[in-house]
Structure 1
Amino acid sequence: MAIEKKHAFDSIVERERGLRRGLSAGQMTMIAIGGAVGTGLFLGSGFAISFAGPGVLVSYAVGALIALLLMGALAEMTVAHPTSGSFGAYAEHYIGPLAGFVVRYAYWSAYVLAVGTEVAAIAVYMKFWFPGVPGLWWIVGFSAALIAVNAMSVRAYGTIEYLFSSLKIAAIVAFILLGAWYVWRAPAGSGVGFANYTAHGGLIPKGWWGVWVGTIVALFSYLGVETIAVAAAEAQDPQRAVTRAFRGTILRLVLFYLLTLALMLAIVPWTEAGANQSPFVKVMAETGVPYAAGAINFVVLVAALSAMNSQLYITTRMMFSLSRAGYAPAVFGRLTRSSVPTAALSLSTIGIAVAAVLNALYPQTAFTLMMSIAMFGAMFTWLMIFVTHLFFRRRYAGPTPAFRMWGHPFGSVLGALLMAGILVTTAFTREFRMTLAYGLAFVVALVVAYAVWYRRRAIVAAEKEASRAGL
């Protein structure tokens, strides 16, 4: 049985060969941060604050707990099996081909649409300097530049993402230091200080339901931490890179999110949060520091570009994995001389086109629409990662991985229950009602597509593998 399982996963690794190992451990950490610190924090936090008020700190703490559990489960599986198909390949091997098919396509579609949320946010940010220029121009221009970067090589992508993420980290640290100084120096009666937490309806002004709904947006903010698992196939030393990235990423994300939100709520009353402008820009404008608002707007612009860059990379690799598995046309599994699947990259720009159309038709609500439909696939994938980890622990037949998830099985069970609860909650909210409606219809369509076109192919492939192994 152990030989059979090992051979089966070795065949998955073999079919996904060809990607170049050009990412360092430092770049892997920055890729994870780049994916997670983006529009969800710099613009989406305004939505979360409007739902939960100061209780948003609890919302983001719950999101951090889920992200921590997920990273633990994912790091263990990735150290055991570093491959570009990542959690899609793990679901295929440990649960079944249908699970692998649905997880890969759900995740791919989520991040194709998430790219659209980033470019929609870019249009919002550029209005700060150029209010009269249509957002469509910024969407097209910035998108073309990032597509060109992703088409060059994984080393070029890693270098750009490292620079982007370094700038974001420096800016967030500067924001925390400046914000802390401003709160500490604020005179009594100035309207600045931690009294803002209770001055407008109390700490939980919209009740615990508002805090729980805020968790939906908080979770959207953390989405992207799982990108290190996909990038592991192109890491120079996957085991060391994944372990180091896991430990460094979670600590930084929790500190960045909770400290920045705590200061933001102390400087600007939560009632002034909104989606027409980044709340970070509002805070900097409030401090009165010359050019601070423009500087932070530049940073949140870079953050959106960074997240978009990361998402283009991830969607391209997931489509590459689908193609190599036989679940998408073979052209999307082909590589250039630089080991880049450019056809898969081209297909993965669909979200940019959708965002451009929505921005032209509904400029005020484009970001909200893109976020609500993009969220399902990502949250469904997180749920399935927890489920897959439970199967992995029962069926894994190889040597003990260098990294082990603590508290098994309670961590994965808790993570799965929380994710399921958040997904169900979206159906009872006005803002995210489309999330579950779109998502369930999409999953049903995937299951039907698999049953009609791919089920027989998966059976034949399994028979070939068994025959090749002499079983």
Structure 2
Amino acid sequence: MANNKTHLKNGNGSENGLKRELKTNQLTMIAMGCAIGTGLFLGSGLAISTAGPSVLISYAIGAFIVLLLMGCLSEMTVAHPTSGSFGTISEKYISPFAGYLVRYSYWVANVLAVGVEVSAIAVYMKFWFPDVPGFVWILLFAAVLIYVNATSVNTFATFEYWFSMIKISAIVGFILLGSYVFFGGSAQPNMGPENLVNAGGFLPFGWWGMWVAIFISLFSFLGTEMIAVTAGEAKDPDVAVPKALKATVFRLSTFYIITIGIMLMIVPWKSAGIEESPFVKVMELLNIPGASGIMNFIILTAALSAMNSQLYASTRMMFSLSRGNYAPAFLGKLSKQGVPLSALAISTLGIFLAAAVNALLPDSSYAFMMGISMFGAIFTWFMVFVSHLFFRKKWETAGGRKLPVKMLGFPYLTILGAVLLLSLMITTWFTGFKIMLQFGIPWLLFLSAAYFIFNKRRNNPEKNESDAILNKRVN
């Protein structure tokens, strides 16, 4: 039993070598930066137009699901602070197959998201430089962020910290400006709390609209799980991870609900998805010069921040796959700075894939890439809940150390989180988000087939012997 305790305490030794340099404030800002993306600044109108004013309930329930998720993730991450994170944990406590599915799904989700973000950056730069070809900006910003990720984890964290600071400052500024509009006497007749009940009441699309908008709200929180990935390079994961997770969920929930509430009171909900961004509208009401330019800069920063963190996450997940023998061994090698450069190189494929898919499928490339990207992230969240159900029982049975943080209400709240998330995923089949499952289910089938074919070949004695003979001849 003593060996078992030691093994559980130390986590997955196969991922050793990464440098533990990240501090608590850096972990918090990285997670918040990942979650605060262009969706809040530009796409918030979609959630509002789906649920009306009841979107406030949608975001509150979404935040509750994330709170449950972070509770489970915090406990498991403190026990196993590795870069493979939820993938390594799924492998250890459910099965190698489960860990394989989680890590590859999360890896491809981030790889594709990198491609989408870098393509969007080219569009944003046209605001200032309309005559410069988009590929120039794609190559320029891709080169800069690849360099940032290749240097050291501390360089990455520093850049992400300031990217996040800009976005968070923009949200705080919006809240203050919005409050000034109401309480400073700048409000117009069609603005105010009455917008929450006008035009069909608080639930204009009924409970169904509110329920569907919960799924949309979850997109705003995607990225908070990044803390678990960065835990493999955190200075003191026992203290830093729980503290960062709690702070992230609380701040994001507060920011989103207050921001959406102000949007609803300034812009009538029926025009939320049609008119200009509410952020720009508030700045124009206060006669702030260059409102559109300021907004474009903030959105550009949001895209760069998302791309930076997604490149980091996909790199660490491929590193974990390699160390787990599910990818070529060279992808698990580290540079002198403790960075998996080969894993970083292959994770940049999303940049080139985005350009290729856009050329081949110009009308559906965005939907195609986002479909798999969204599925991979949500599937990972669902597997966190499932993993926790296995983790707690096995950890206690094996005599694992007493952890500084523990998920409350186990197993009931863990099951509740899994059921809510699974129900929302199934709901997408009956909405305009059906594309997520249309691409996600075939993706899982493809991964499953590849896994069993790979394992069959790996466990074939005759094949292994012939490979050994061939290698001897080559060498």
Please identify, of 282-291 and 127-136, the stretch whose mean Cα deviation from structure 2 is larger: 127-136
- Report the TM-score when normalising by structure 1: 0.90
On the 8 A contact 1:426/1:436 being kept in 2, the answer is: yes
Q: Which residue of 1 aligns with 2:21?
A: 22
How many Å apart are 1:199 and its aligned residue? 2.9
Cα RMSD for the two superposed structures: 2.5
| Matched residue SS, 1:443 | helix
How many Å apart are 1:334 and its aligned residue? 1.1
In structure 1, give the amino acid aligned to 2:51.
A
1:307 matched to 2:309: no
1:227 matched to 2:226: yes
Q: Which residue of 1 aligns with 2:256?
A: 257
Please identify, of 43-52 and 148-157, the stretch whose mean Cα deviation from structure 2 is larger: 43-52
- Judged with a 3 Å threshold, the aligned counterparts in structure 2 of structure 1 residues 199 and 185 are, in CA distance, closer, same or farther, namely farther
| 1:135-146 equivalent positions in 2, closer than 5 A | 135-146=134-145
- Deviations 1:425-448 (Å, cap 9, x if unpaired)? 111112x21111111111111111
- Judged with a 3 Å threshold, the aligned counterparts in structure 2 of structure 1 residues 188 and 231 are, in CA distance, closer, same or farther, namely closer
Task: Report the Cα distance in structure 2 between the residues aligned to 1:336 and 1:167, rounded to whole angstroms.
Answer: 31
How many Å apart are 1:282 and its aligned residue? 4.3
Please identify, of 394-403 and 264-273, the stretch whose mean Cα deviation from structure 2 is larger: 264-273
Task: Report the Cα distance in structure 2 between the residues aligned to 1:88 and 1:289, rounded to whole angstroms.
Answer: 47
- Judged with a 3 Å threshold, the aligned counterparts in structure 2 of structure 1 residues 6 and 88 are, in CA distance, closer, same or farther, namely farther
- Deviations 1:183-213 (Å, cap 9, x if unpaired)? 3335675322222223333322222222222
- Judged with a 3 Å threshold, the aligned counterparts in structure 2 of structure 1 residues 266 and 127 are, in CA distance, closer, same or farther, namely farther
How many Å apart are 1:217 and its aligned residue? 1.9
Q: Which residue of 1 aligns with 2:411?
A: 409
Q: Which residue of 2 aligns with 1:355?
A: 354
| Matched residue SS, 1:202 | coil
| Matched residue SS, 1:232 | helix
- Judged with a 3 Å threshold, the aligned counterparts in structure 2 of structure 1 residues 206 and 122 are, in CA distance, closer, same or farther, namely farther
In structure 2, give the amino acid aligned to 1:299.
I
Q: Which residue of 2 aligns with 1:97?
A: 96
How many Å apart are 1:379 and its aligned residue? 0.5
Please identify, of 352-361 and 307-316, the stretch whose mean Cα deviation from structure 2 is larger: 352-361
Q: Which residue of 2 aligns with 1:434?
A: 435
Rg bigger for which structure? 2
Task: Report the Cα distance in structure 1 between the residues aligned to 2:376 and 2:275, rounded to whole angstroms.
Answer: 26
- Deviations 1:329-379 (Å, cap 9, x if unpaired)? 112111111111111112112222233345567778765554333110110
- Judged with a 3 Å threshold, the aligned counterparts in structure 2 of structure 1 residues 108 and 177 are, in CA distance, closer, same or farther, namely same
Q: Which residue of 1 aligns with 2:124?
A: 125
| Matched residue SS, 2:406 | coil
On the 8 A contact 1:78/1:242 being kept in 2, the answer is: yes
1:446 matched to 2:444: no
- Judged with a 3 Å threshold, the aligned counterparts in structure 2 of structure 1 residues 228 and 420 are, in CA distance, closer, same or farther, namely same
On the 8 A contact 1:33/1:225 being kept in 2, the answer is: yes
How many Å apart are 1:3 and its aligned residue? 3.5
- Judged with a 3 Å threshold, the aligned counterparts in structure 2 of structure 1 residues 168 and 293 are, in CA distance, closer, same or farther, namely same
Q: Which residue of 2 aligns with 1:163?
A: 162
On the 8 A contact 1:43/1:121 being kept in 2, the answer is: no
1:346 matched to 2:341: no
| Unpaired segments ≥5 residues, structure 2 | 462-475
Identity of aligned residues (%): 55
How many Å apart are 1:88 and its aligned residue? 0.6
Task: Report the Cα distance in structure 1 between the residues aligned to 2:454 and 2:281, rounded to whole angstroms.
Answer: 52
- Deviations 1:137-193 (Å, cap 9, x if unpaired)? 433332222111111110100111111112222221111101111133356753222
- Deviations 1:290-317 (Å, cap 9, x if unpaired)? 2333223312221221121111101100
| Matched residue SS, 1:204 | coil
Q: Which residue of 1 aligns with 2:193?
A: 194
On the 8 A contact 1:376/1:435 being kept in 2, the answer is: yes
On the 8 A contact 1:33/1:249 being kept in 2, the answer is: yes
| Unpaired segments ≥5 residues, structure 1 | 461-471
- Report the TM-score when normalising by structure 2: 0.89
